[in-house]
Structure 1
Amino acid sequence: MKRTHLPLNALRVFDAAARHLSFTRAADELAVTPAAVGQQIRALEDVLGVVLFRRTSKGLELTDEAVAGLDPLREGFLRFEESVQAMQAGQASSSYTIAVPREFYAQWLAPRLASFRALHPDVRFQLIADEEADFTEANLDVAIRLVEGPGELEGAQLAPGHKVAVAASEGGSDGWIAWPGFALPDGEEEKALLQVGNAGQALSSAIAGLGKALMPLPLVEGALADGSLVALGEVEECRRSYWLVAPRPQWRQKKVKALVDHLTAG
C-alpha cells in the first residue's frame, strides 16, 4: 500500500505552536523565527485544506479540526521516539564483535581489552580472526587492520607505523622470512628461505630460529623485551600500521566511541 507523504516538519511545528498557543514561543523552542513558524503553519493548512488556528482578543486558539488531530499526532511523535530508541539500542549494547589478526590480539589487544573490561564489567567480546571480514555479513562493530590508512572507513591509528628486522636471540638461520605485510630489502625477496602467509606465522618462525623477518614493532616488543628475539638494526618508520576501522554508522555509536577512546588513550 502506498503511504501518504507526510509533511513531518510542518506537523512538528504545529505541535509546538499548539502546545504554546504562541508562534513566538514555538519559534524559541524550535530555534527558528516566528515568521518561519507562521509559514510552516500556513503551508500545512494549505496541504490539509483546513484552518488550524484562530486569532482572538485573548490570543491564538485551536480550531475544532486542529483539536481533532492533535492527540493522534502527539501519539505518533511518541511512537517515532520509541522507534528511534529501538534503532539506537545497539549503541548501549555491552557486546562487541571485533575482527582482529590473531597475532595482534595476542601481543597488543588482549591486555587492553582486559583493562577496558575492568572498567566496564558487563561488556562481552566476540573475536573474528579474519580482519578483512565484511562488516555487514559478520555483523562487525570494528576491525583492526594493518594498512596505510582507513581508506573509505572511519578509523583511528592504534600504534605508530614502525618496523624492525628481528631474529631469534640464539642459533637460527640468517636467511629471510618473507610474508605479505612488508616487502624485503631490494634483491632479498627471491633469496627468502621461507615464505609464510601472515604476520603470526612470520613471528612464530622468527622465534623458532627459521630466519629473520621484518615485523611491525607492536608485534615484537614483548619478544624483544623477554629476549626471545633480538633487533637487527634500528627501528624504521613505515607507512603501514595497525588501524581500528569501521563504517561511519558503527563509528558513531556510543559503545564504539568508548572503546576507541580507551584503545587510543596514552
Structure 2
Amino acid sequence: MKRTHLPLNGLRVLDAAARYLSFTRAADELAVTPAAVGQQIRTLEDVLGVVLFRRTAKGLELTPEAAAGLDPLRQGFLQFEEAVRAMQAQQSSKRLTIAAPRDFTAKWLAPRLADYGRTDDELGFHLVAADESLDFTQANLDLAVCLTKDKGEHEGVMLGARGHVTIGRADGADRAIGWPGCLQADRDPVITVADAGLAIDAAAAGLGRATVPALLAGDDLASGRVVEFGRVDCDRAYWLVAPVPQWRQKKVKALVAALTA
C-alpha cells in the first residue's frame, strides 16, 4: 500500500479501540461517537481485507490479524510523535531570517531590530538582501519586507503610511538626487545613487534634494539631519509579508508586533 493511501484515521481509531476493547471508551478518547468508531473500523476492515474485532459473550476481542499488527502500529505512532516534536523544535528557536532591501535595513530596520534584540538575549537575526522574486522555501525565510502596492499572495501588514517625501538640507542645493525607482526621475539629477538610503545621505550632505519613501526618511527628519520640502503621493508602501505557515510562528508574530507597535 502506498504511503499516500495509508488509512491513518482508521489506524488511529484501531489503536484506541484495541487499548480499551470498547468502541464507547475509544469514542470518548477521540471525541467522536461510538457509531463513528464502528464506521471507521468497518471501513478499515474493508481497506485491509481483514476482520479486526469480534464480539463474544465476554465483549469485544481482537482477531489474530489485528493483534499481529498492533505493536508495529504503535511504534509507528511513536515515530510520528517524534517527527512532529522535531518539526516543532524550531519553534523554540528565536533566530529569524529576514529579507529586506538594503536601504530599508540600514535606515529603518536595523536600529529597530537592535532595540527589539535588547529585550531578549536569545533573539538573533539573519538579514539578507531582498530581490524581486521572494522564495521563502529556498531562502529559508521567516519574514520579508517589500516596497509594493499590497501584500500580494502572502499574509502581511503595512508599515507606516503610503507616500514619499522630498528632503534635503536647508542650505543644500536645489537639484534632484536620482535613484532607481525615484518618483522625480524626469528631473535632471545632480547625482544618481544606488538606492533611496544613499539618496537620503546625499541629501544630508547638501548635494541636493531626494524624494524617497516617507518611512525611510523618518529618523533623519526627526533628528534634524534633513528637512522636508514637500510630500508626493505614491501607491507603494513597505510591507512585512510571509506565507501563512511562517506568519503563524510565535517568533514572527512577536517581531511583527514589535515592529508595528
Q: Same fold (TM over 0.5)?
A: yes
Question: Equivalences for 1:171-182 in 2 at 5 Å?
Answer: 172-182=172-182
Provide the residue aligned with 1:219 in structure 2: 216
Of 207, 210, 223, which aligns to 2:204?
207
- Counterparts in 2 of 1:59 and 1:238: CA distance versus 1, 3 Å: farther
Distance 1:190 1:165 in 2: 13
Distance 2:140 2:175 in 1: 41
- Counterparts in 2 of 1:178 and 1:4: CA distance versus 1, 3 Å: closer
Provide the residue aligned with 1:165 in structure 2: 166
- Counterparts in 2 of 1:85 and 1:215: CA distance versus 1, 3 Å: same
Gaps of 5+ in 2: none
- Deviation for aligned residue 1:131: 4.7
Distance 2:118 2:72 in 1: 47
Distance 1:180 1:45 in 2: 66
Does the aligned pair in 2 maintain the 1:107–1:218 contact within 8 Å?
no
Does the aligned pair in 2 maintain the 1:166–1:206 contact within 8 Å?
yes
- Counterparts in 2 of 1:220 and 1:10: CA distance versus 1, 3 Å: same
Does the aligned pair in 1 maintain the 2:103–2:195 contact within 8 Å?
no
| TM-score of the two chains, using structure 1 as the length reference | 0.86
Map Cα deviations across residues 186-211 of structure 1 (whole Å, 9 max, x no partner). Answer: xx714333333311121112112221
Question: Equivalences for 1:177-256 in 2 at 5 Å?
Answer: 177-184=177-184, 189-233=186-230, 235=231, 238-256=234-252
- Deviation for aligned residue 1:232: 0.7
The farther-off stretch of 90-99 and 39-48 is 90-99
Q: Equivalent residue of 1:189, what SS?
A: coil
- Deviation for aligned residue 1:85: 2.2
Identity percentage over the alignment?
61
Does the aligned pair in 2 maintain the 1:166–1:214 contact within 8 Å?
yes
Provide the residue aligned with 2:256 in structure 1: 260
Provide the residue aligned with 1:46 in structure 2: 46
Distance 1:243 1:217 in 2: 14
Gaps of 5+ in 1: none
The farther-off stretch of 12-21 and 58-67 is 58-67
Distance 1:221 1:260 in 2: 19
Does the aligned pair in 2 maintain the 1:161–1:237 contact within 8 Å?
yes
Distance 1:257 1:122 in 2: 16
Instruction: Tell me the matched-pair count.
Output: 260
- Deviation for aligned residue 1:181: 3.5
Provide the residue aligned with 1:12 in structure 2: 12
Provide the residue aligned with 2:128 in structure 1: 128
Q: Equivalent residue of 1:261, what SS?
A: helix
- Deviation for aligned residue 1:99: 1.6
Q: Equivalent residue of 2:130, what SS?
A: coil
